[in-house]
């Protein structure tokens, strides 16, 4: 590119375009901080920063079209905060679905007696048990298989129609949507781990009956091995069904988040 072409390109960039880019970047950034897949620790911060900037550059022409962005410093700072909160609300709603899968892994570790062996989760860098790490890896794989990344980007682009970058947002409905997503996290974790929890209850009842009928049997020594075996069996059978559950939950979470953003 020659100096003349560079000067012509720079001359075509107005203050509105620059402010619009930073407002879009403020809305895109929470995806790479909170949303599953996009915020994975397997992506180094530099890569996530480059992806956020590239995505913001691609979306800015559409998001800033027809928008009048105020020039005042306080007004721009306020819009930056508003757009960051909008992106955070969307990313949080999606992260709660992935968090439910991880919480189901925590329940599996607790009920199956596998919480003693703690390892580092490669997805988020936090320590967790064997089943927690397994559910995190499988949940991320299912997230990509069911098109969760595409759902996330589609929901992000929809937010620019629901709440333009230069418009305010109502905090009340957005907070209510966040509360609903948080409540669904625990419910989703119980739904995923329900087969294992039921199997563990039946196993504990069976071991208790054996200890009454045959007192000579060391139930504690036998029960630990039996519970691990039952845990592995139930997890192997139930894991393939997470995909359909995640697909429905992603759609519901996106709809809830978007409804909370519409004034």
3-state secondary structure of 208: helix
Per-residue model confidence as pLDDT tens for the chain (263 residues): 565 544 444 444 567 777 788 888 888 998 888 888 888 777 788 888 888 889 888 888 887 777 777 777 788 888 888 889 888 888 888 888 888 888 888 888 877 766 665 555 555 556 666 787 788 888 888 888 877 788 888 888 888 888 888 877 777 777 777 788 888 888 888 888 888 888 888 888 888 787 777 777 676 777 777 888 888 888 888 887 887 787 777 777 777 777 766 65
Q: Give yes or no for a contact between 174 and 89, defined as CB atoms under 8 angstroms apart.
A: yes
Partners of 128 in beta bridges: 119
Kindly list the distances between the CA atom of residue 98 and the CA atoms of 1, 135, 140, in Å, as whole numbers in the listed order.
45, 10, 8
Q: Token pair for residue 63?
A: 């998001």
pLDDT at site 120: 54
pTM of the entire structure? 0.77
Rounded Cα distance, 19 and 129, in Å: 45
The neighbour count for residue 233, using CB atoms within 10 Å, is 12
124-150: buried (b, 16+ CB within 10 Å) or exposed (e) per residue?
beeebbbbbbbbbebbbebbeebebbe
Residue ranges in 69-170 assigned as alpha helix (H): 73-112, 130-145, 148-162
Question: Cβ contacts of residue 237 below 8 Å, gap of 6+?
Answer: 195
49-61: buried (b, 16+ CB within 10 Å) or exposed (e) per residue?
eeebeebbeebbe
Domain ranges in the chain are 89-261
């Amino acid at each position: 590119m020659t100096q003349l072409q560079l000067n012509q390109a720079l001359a075509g960039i107005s203050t509105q375009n620059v402010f619009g880019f930073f407002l879009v970047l403020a809305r895109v950034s929470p995806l790479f901080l909170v949303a599953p897949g996009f915020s994975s620790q397997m992506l180094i911060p530099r890569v996530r920063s480059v992806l956020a900037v590239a995505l913001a550059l691609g979306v800015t022409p559409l998001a800033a079209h027809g928008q009048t962005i105020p020039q005042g410093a306080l007004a721009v700072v306020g819009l930056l905060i508003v757009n960051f909160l909008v992106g955070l609300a969307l990313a949080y709603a999606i992260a709660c679905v992935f968090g439910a899968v991880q919480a189901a892994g925590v329940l599996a570790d607790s009920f199956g007696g596998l919480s003693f062996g703690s390892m580092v989760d490669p997805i988020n860098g936090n320590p967790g048990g064997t089943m927690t790490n397994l559910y995190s890896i499988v949940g991320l794989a299912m997230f990509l298989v069911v098109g969760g990344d595409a759902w996330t980007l589609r929901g992000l682009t929809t937010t620019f129609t629901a709440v333009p970058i230069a418009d305010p947002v109502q905090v009340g409905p957005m907070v209510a949507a966040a509360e609903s997503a948080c409540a669904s996290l625990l419910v989703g974790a119980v739904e995923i781990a329900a087969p294992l929890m039921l199997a563990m209850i039946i196993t504990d009842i069976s071991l208790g009956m054996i200890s009454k009928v045959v007192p000579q049997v060391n139930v504690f020594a036998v029960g630990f091995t039996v519970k691990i075996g039952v845990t592995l069996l139930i997890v192997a059978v139930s894991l393939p069904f997470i995909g359909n559950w995640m697909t429905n939950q992603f759609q519901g979470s996106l709809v809830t988040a978007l409804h909370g953003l519409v004034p």
